[in-house]
Every structure is written in C-alpha cells, then in structure tokens.
Amino acid sequence: MPNRLFLSLLGIALLFIVGYFVYSKVNLSNKIVLPSYMGPVPDGALIRLGKGGISVFAISPDGNYLAIGNEIGIYLYNAKTFEQLWVNPCGNIRFLEFSPNSQFLIGISDKNTTYQRSTIEWEVGTGNILKTFDFFTEFNLYDIAWKSDGNPLLAIERHQTIGQSKEGIDLSQWSIYFIDIDTAKSWQVFTIQSVVDSFVFSPDGNTIAYSITNEGIKIWDIENNKEVTNISLPTYAKLAFSPNGKFLLASTPWSIYAFDPLTSGKLGQIEHSPPAMNLSINQDGNMFAGVFGKKVIVWSLPDMVEIQSWIVDSGVSNIVWGISSMLFIQTGDNRVAVWDVSREKTLRALDGYLDITGNLIWSPDSKMIAATTYSYSGRDSMLLFWDLDGNLLHRIEYSEVIGALAWSPDNKKIAVSNNGQLIFLDTEDFTVIKTVDVAGVTDLDWSPDGDQVAVALSDRKISVLDYSTEATLFSMTTLPKWMPSPEFPNNPVINIAWSPDGDYIAAGMWDGPAYIWDSSNGKELAELDHIYTAYSYMNSVVDISWSSDGRYLAGCFNAGIQPKANKDGTTYFVPGEAVILWNVQTGKQDKILKANYELTHSIDLSPNSDLLAVSLYNDGSSSLYLWNTNDLSLSLAAELPELKVDGSAYKLVWAPSGKMLAALLDNGTIVVWDF
C-alpha cells in the first residue's frame, strides 16, 4: 500500500513537472522579452535609465539581426532571441540599411539643426565603425543602395533658390544628388521645379524611382543618367520596391498600385483610404503589408488579394519583413513585435524602449526614481519606478496623460494626477490607496509634514487639500498679468513648491509672476519681481526651487537672449535673465544669472543650497551647468564643469541626499550623476 501511494504521488509530480514545462513552452512563444532597461551611460554619469523611444529599425537580409536606431544611437540584437549584441551611442539615428550580405550596416544621423547629416557604417559582427561621411540636405528624404562592387550609394534631395519672379517671389528648384560613400564623390542627377514626395532605389542600385505630386512616378537609370520610364499618377505617392526588383508599389491617398518597373505596366490596384503610412514587401516578393493607423493588412502579389488583417491597440509606427513569413512591427508603445503571417500569431516582442518625456521625481530616501511617459499615437501614459541599479521595479499604464507627481515625505505614498483625479499609491506594493476628484491639475507638492497636498490648477488657482479628510482647506488665485493666449486661455499655474519649513507655498505662473503665500491661510505675501518682455509666454516661470533654509527662492524663465534695436535699425542681442534668486523676506532680487541662451529649461538647488543645477537651451541643444550659489554673478565665470549629456534636459532634480542629480532628457531617458 505505501509503495502504491508513493508511486501515485510520484506520477502526479511527474505530470505536474511535464505540464509545467509544456505550459512554459507554449507561453514562451508569446512572451515579452525584457532586456536591460538601461542605455549607454554618458561620460562622467552614474547610470542611464531607459533607452529612449524607437525612431527606426531594420532587419538584416539573412534574418539574423535586428537594428534599432533612436536619439541615443543604435542597438543591435539577435533577431531570433532579442539578445542585445552591441550598442553605439552615436546619436539621433533616422535611417538604417543592411548590406545584402548582412555583414555591414549604415545609419544616417541628424547632427544638428542646420541640416547637417552623417552616415555611419558599422561592421555588424563587431560593432566597429568603419567609416563616417558628413553631408548636407534640408529634407529628411534619403535612401541608400549597395552597388555591385559592395560599396554604398547615397541619394539625397537638395533645394536651391535660383532667382526671383517679377513679383519678387523666390524661384526654387530641387535636385537629386548621388554620393558614393566610399569615395565621397557626389554628382547631381537631375533638376526639377517641384518637390520630390518620395524616392527609392531598386534593389540592385541601378535605378531610382521618384514621385512628384501631379506629375507621376519617374524611373531613372543611374549609370546612363537618363529617364527610363514615366508612370502617370494624378497625386503624390509613397514608393516601395520589392527585394527581387519585380514590383514597384505606390501608395496614394485613395489607392495602392503595383507596377512592373521595367515596362511601367500596372499589375494591380487596391482602393484604400486613408493612405498607407508604411509599405513593406517580403523577400520572396509574393506578399506585402501596409500600415493604416492601428490596422495592419497583408496582401498577396501580384494579384493583390487580402490575406489577413489585424488591429494593434497601441498603434503601429512601422513594419519590416524578415525572412519567410515573419513581419516585424514597431508598435505605438515602443515595442518591436514579430508576427508570423503563416500562423497568424505574435511570436515575441522586444520591450525596453520607453520614451520617458513626462515628469521626474526622487523618493525621499533617494533610493528610487519615479518618471512618466506621455500619451500619444494611441499609446497609454506610463508611471515608471526604478531603482539605482537600473531595474524597472514597476510600471502602471493610464489611458490619459499623467499631469503631475509628488512623493510623500514619509516615503510611503505617491500622488499622481490623471484623468480628473488625484490617485494616491502605496509605494511598497503600488496599489491604489484612494482617489480624489480634482480636474485640471498642473503640479503637486506635499507639505513637509505630509498632512496636506498643494495642487496647482490650470485656472490660475492653487488649492490646499487635507490628505486625511480630502477636504479643500483654502484656495489661492491671482489675476492674469497679460492677455491670455489661445493655447493657455487662463495663464495657468505651472509649478508649485512648499518651503522646507512648511510656512510658505511658492508658485510660478505661465504669464510671469512668481508668488509666495502663507501656507496656513492662503494669504498672498509677495509677488516676486523680474523684468517682463513683450511676449507673455517668455515671462513664464518654468521652474522654481527653495533654498534649504527657506530664505531664497530660485526661478527660471522662458525669456532668454533679448533682442535690442540699434539706431540704424539693426538688431543686437544681450544676455537674458536665465535664473533669479529672490530674497523671500523682501521679495526682491538677490542674485541674477544672465546667459547667452534662448531658454532655461529647468533648475534645482541642491539640498544644502551650495549648488544650483541649470539646464540652458540654445540652437537645438542644451547644456547642463552647476553654479556655486555664493558667487553667482552676471558672468558665467562661476560655473563648474559642464555635465555631458546627449539631449536637452527638460527637468533637473537633486536627490534628497544631495549626492546625486537626475536629468530628464528629450531623448526619452534619465541620466544620473553621483557627486
């Protein structure tokens, strides 16, 4: 009997183990692959949280590699396992193309705001950069073909002003240029009087097809420098060649056409509106897929019969065929999913690309960072929690934009504004403690004792709520200084901050003033002065920060470099008010930092008030500086060394410990420095 019982239990255990592995194997095919959520770290920084969003991706012809490009640089993965093979922080990749033998990869990077671009060629197996080449174009329109000799050929569009009409209107012409990346030789192929809507190389690199609105599609023989054929179309078209070169697809606002590029004969037509955002043809040339918002449709070629379609809830940004029936899809929530058309199922999805562009706060114990993403293109907003080892501890998705965040002083709660509510979360298990209905929240801050929450609102009002009773204790409001703008009809409160001793509440307004109120009764104590410009948006107090002793309040402004008129009518510029330190007792300016920058994005005083972190923006990029608050002056001589970043910093926040500084960058990542 005992032996029989033992054998029965053993059999049950074996069935459980077998069942577990069968279940795991079944679900493995649909799992989300979670690689590291950390990107490459800038020089001198401690860590980077996040990898940024996805700008572009490509699949190697042999199906073995997945390359992802974004504002950080390029990441290369094993396309079958999503194992990260290497990363190169070259910055702002907008185009990727593998060589036909899958051994080389070329990316095109935007260098700055003056239309400078750069091609970068990598060896796929090692990640080593083989060569770079800089070029100029006003348009984000380019393509690369690999010639028979193995060297890449770049096509770009350029614009020229060639004179003026009798009426004084500029006359323009557009040209297509070819550049041999290996030799840097360039030549103009043809000149036209209209903007090119789309162009694409044939797979063998011998011809290029381009479309012009109302003029149709033209196919150009590159070697002989002549037009081969002309296809008439009454509108603009987005073009795609099949990998075997047998088909040329053209997506117009109402239809998708398939043409024979050799004869210009029409092979098929599908009536479809809206137009396809992207088209991709598989390697065998017998199927193609199109993106229509959240919908992906697959058709056969050349008969153009619909095979299947499906909806992606988060939206679709791009599609690229891999080998066989594998279709790689960039979803609206920054994942790359692999869809098997033959089996009509998702095999796996690569996660980790979170476009963190919302808000940023530290936990009071300086051990965690909370940040948010925006909601757009069908993507939910996300609230993210990280530790300083780069682990993404938790994420919560919300259907609406997350307006503001504030961590309670006891480290146990976080307040989140979303969809007309204040949501209070337990930071141990991330469960909802309670919700309070409050609409139009623009910023939040807890009182130092954790009993009250100050809420900034879009109608120029600040309300102070009792956390326990949820009652509004009192509200403060001010009259606008300027005529409201269409974008901000009420000139809202942008930010608020409770003083360290809890006696005051400070607020920065869209139309310029910064105010200080008595936190016990809402009485206005001071309107802090600064020089106003003629434009209300330039007066915005975009960020404020208290000194640790509560004696000073720092504020920064949209007003940067200020234009001045010379007597001869010409204009010159003088440094604008980047940052002001006000004496709270007098309401007067104590120190002013002036700088030759367009905007000041963010500031934060260190917990001991010795250092002021400032993010200054100019000409498409920003610089991060630390200033010693004791000798802040009209010059920049008091600055400490610049912190190295690869993006514009929207938000700077010191850790409460005073030993670390975090910056939220416009490339969708957070960089942390340890001092």
Please state the separation of Cα 56 from the chain's center in Å: 12
Count of structural domains within the chain: 4
Terminal Cα distance for the chain, rounded? 70
Residue 664 phi, psi dihedral angles, 5° rounding: -90, 120
Whether the Cβ atoms of residue 121 and residue 104 lie closer than 8 Å to each other: yes
Alpha helices in 102-222 (DSSP H): none
What's the token pair of residue 221? 């023989």
CA distance 571 to 583: 34
Q: How many CB atoms sit inside 10 A of residue 273's CB? A: 10
DSSP state of 27: H
Are residue 347 and residue 365 in the same domain, yes or no? Answer: no
Assess if residue 401 is contained within a domain: yes
Determine, yes or no, domain membership for 78: yes
> Do 165 and 289 lie in a common domain?
no
Name the domain boundary from 404, 438, 472. 438
CA-based angle 238:243:244, to the nearest 5?
A: 120
| Cβ count within 10 A of residue 105 | 24
**590, two tokens:** 């104590």
Same domain flag for 360 and 425: yes
Q: Which of 598, 597, 627, 631 is nearest to 614 (CA)?
A: 627
In a domain, 465, yes or no: no
Q: Are residues 255 and 151 in the same domain?
A: yes
Determine contact, residues 515/498, Cβ cutoff 8 Å: no
The CATH number covering residue 228 comes to 2.130.10.10
Tell me how far CA of residue 549 lies from CA of 544, 546, 657, in angstroms. 15, 8, 16
- C-alpha dihedral (58, 307, 237, 143), degrees to nearest 10: 20
Shared domain check, 271 and 199 = yes
What is the structure's pLDDT at 274?
A: 82
Give the DSSP H or E segment for 19. helix 2-28
* 346 and 429 inside one domain: no
Integer Cα distance of 494 and 511 in angstroms: 10
CA distances from 97 to 57, 117, 122, 352, 662 (A): 9, 16, 11, 22, 35
Burial of 182 (0-12, 13-18, 19+ CB in 10 A): middle
The model's pTM is 0.82
Asked whether 281 and 241 are in contact (CB, 8 A), the reply is yes
- DSSP for 372-434, please give it: E----TTPPEEEEEEETTS-EEEEEEESS-EEEEEE-TTSSEEEEEETTEEEEEETTT--EEE
The answer for residues whose C-beta is within 8 angstroms of residue 79's C-beta and 6 or more apart is: 59, 60, 63, 64, 65, 66, 322, 328
Q: Are residues 233 and 306 in the same domain?
A: no
Q: Among 275, 307, 337, where does a domain finish?
A: 275
Domain end marker among 68, 97, 127: 127
As a whole number, the mean pLDDT across the chain is: 82
Are the CB atoms for 237 and 275 separated by under 8 Å?
Answer: no
The maximal CA–CA distance of the chain, rounded, in angstroms, is 111
Taking the C-alpha atoms of residue 503 and residue 500, their distance in angstroms, rounded to an integer, is 8
DSSP 341: T
Q: Residue 299: its pLDDT value, please?
A: 95
141 and 271 assigned to the same domain: yes
291 and 302 part of one domain: yes
**Amino acid occupying residue 258:** A
CATH code at position 326: 2.40.10.480
Which stretches of 29-123 are DSSP H helices? none
Res 484: pLDDT = 53
**Residue ranges, the chain, pLDDT below 70:** 1-37, 111-115, 139-140, 170, 375-379, 479-491, 529-539, 558-565, 569-578, 594-599, 618-622, 630-642
Cα-flanking dihedrals φ and ψ of residue 514, to 5°?
-110, 140
* pLDDT for position 27: 27
Structural domain containing residue 419: 354-438
For residues 360 and 434, membership in a common domain is answered with yes
Quick check: bond before 302 cis, omega within 30?
A: yes
Bridge-based pairing state of the strands 32-33 and 345-350? parallel
Torsion of CA 582, 585, 588, 594, to 10 degrees: -10
Distance CA 502, CA 447 (A): 6
Distance separating alpha carbons of residues 621 and 578, to the nearest angstrom: 16
Same domain, 348 and 359: no
Contact 595, 563 (CB under 8 A): no
Looking at residue 573, what is its pLDDT?
57
Task: Give domain status of residue 613, yes or no.
Answer: no
Rg over alpha carbons for the chain, rounded to the nearest Å, is 29
